[in-house]
Amino acid sequence: MARLALLSVSDKTGLVDLAKALVEEFGFDLISSGGTAKAIAAANLPVTKVSDYTGSPEILGGRVKTLHPKIHGGILARQDLAEDQQDLADNGMRPLDLVVVNLYPFEQTIAKADVTMADAIENIDIGGPAMLRAAAKNHAHLTVLCSAEQYGPYLEALRASAGQVPLAFRQECARAAFWHTASYDQAIATYLTQSISEPGTAEPDALPQQWALSGRQQATLRYGENPHQTAAWYRTGSTPTGWAGAEQIQGKELSYNNLVDLEAARRIIAEFPADRPAAAVLKHTNPCGVGMGDSLSTAYRRAYDADDVSAFGGIVVLNRAIDADTAQQLTGTFLECIVAPGCDDAAREILAKKQNLRVLVLEDLLTGPGQVVNAIAGGFLLQAPDTYRDDPATWQMVTEAQPTEAELAEMLFAWRVVKHVKSNAIVVTHQQQTLGIGAGQMNRVGSVSIALAQAGAKAQGAVLASDGFFPFDDSVRTAAAAGIRAVVQPGGSRRDDDSIKAANELGLIMAMTGVRHFLH
């Protein structure tokens, strides 16, 4: 008797070629349902509808097609067990040798801007996951395929083994099927968690009681943070988004550290709307220079000049498409990566002269992950990303000296940058350009000293931002001695009055934002 294959797919990619090879090269009989059967029949290939095979019509508007004993009996039967074979014979069933299933496009559906809950629910596949799980469980006796990418390797395996697919291949396909159904169920659970408030949830943004993370490998990376660490890049979702969906115009393959730095770059540039050109240069996830200007090339030059020593081998992020003038400047030093929302043809031609320079276009630099995950021994931590949009109108001006409109804008610029510097963080800026950055020190006084030393004489009339409050007035006095005009900090120390008193004594402006932006 001819071998039997069940084909029931939402994504018809490669379907006809697979069906043609199964029938004409290997003599399979095909059973199929709905649109899959129509596509196969339209290619003039013999196919039996599931409803004809089972003797039961599709019901409930197609919701019930393959949920039938003749289907699942054929999938789950153990071909080396006499009792199972007798059950098949007694019930007019045939064992299946191949199950090809992919699922309703749930993630594509919920990605639509106008999707309704009813649309999402209707795109939850029931029969497909049941068949995939059953076939994967019984992989000792049949093969399950859940992706068009597997069709070619499956046919090659048939050809190479006289029609008998090796167990190792079937095991790998079973593993893929279980991951497929697991990620599918996770997408559904996540959507429902985000769309329906959990009973007893006090706040709409409260984190769920259960959370799972899964991904599909985008690339194997040469190594991790260091050469002795293995690493790979995974994407979430069925379609590439974020960095997985970026266009790499040129350059070497991305490394683990490149990707970590690029995400830090995306976070900081998201602070600066494209209505005014902005640029940042980063090293080891910290900004070493941030600048704004009337043109993109000016913004980049200001970011670069802020710390041209640290900029060597850095990551550059821009909030506008790269033009020829900016590209010319970008080629003037060694950089690891450049990312922008676009890159015009003239700029591409200029950048191409640096073949190893990685240049990426990510149109949406604003959208980041909905949650931040940090692995710890025995579990992981989950938090909402720090996407808080700071508004100076909510700040408390705590000193006698009050800022002008221009000074307040400068304070906001400094505050937006310090948010993305590793704690303890201090940033000194003037005229929309960073002058000094103190990052990641074990005490705030150390960060103040580093930032002011880097700014040097340029600190005269500048703004100093601190990501945490000042527990003593020493940092305020040090800042004033260096020529700082205004300080912005979250406030909240029991000794805030000491810092305010010192600022008033020294003629400084001080704002307390009421919001802290630690970055560990």
State the catalytic residues: 137, 284
The tokens of 421 are what?
Answer: 């510097």
Q: Any residues with CB less than 8 A from the CB of 393 and at least 6 apart, and which? A: none
d(CA 9, CA 154): 16
Residues 6+ apart with CB under 8 A from 464: 414, 426, 427, 428, 448, 451, 452, 479, 484, 486, 487, 488
Contact 67, 130 (CB under 8 A): yes
Contact 448, 479 (CB under 8 A): yes
- Assess contact for 302 and 331: CB atoms under 8 A: no
Residue 462 — φ and ψ, nearest 5°? Answer: -90, 175
Structure-token pair, residue 381: 């931590």
Closest residue by Cα to residue 477 from 451, 501, 446: 501
Q: How many angstroms separate the Cα of 249 from the Cα of each of 222, 270, 361, 362?
A: 20, 22, 7, 11
Q: Specify whether the CB–CB gap between 18 and 151 falls below 8 A.
A: yes
Report the alpha-carbon distance of residue 324 to residue 341 in Å, rounded. Answer: 15
SS3 state at 8: strand
The alpha carbon dihedral of 488, 492, 495, 496 has a sign of positive
Residues in Cβ contact with 407 at an 8 Å cutoff, skipping those fewer than 6 apart: 463, 485, 486, 509
Among 372, 375, 416, 388, smallest CA distance to 263 is for 372
Amino acid at site 179: W
Residue 192, C-beta contacts closer than 8 angstroms, at least 6 positions apart: none
Tokens of 285: 């996830």
Give 475's Cβ-side CA count (13 Å radius).
Answer: 32
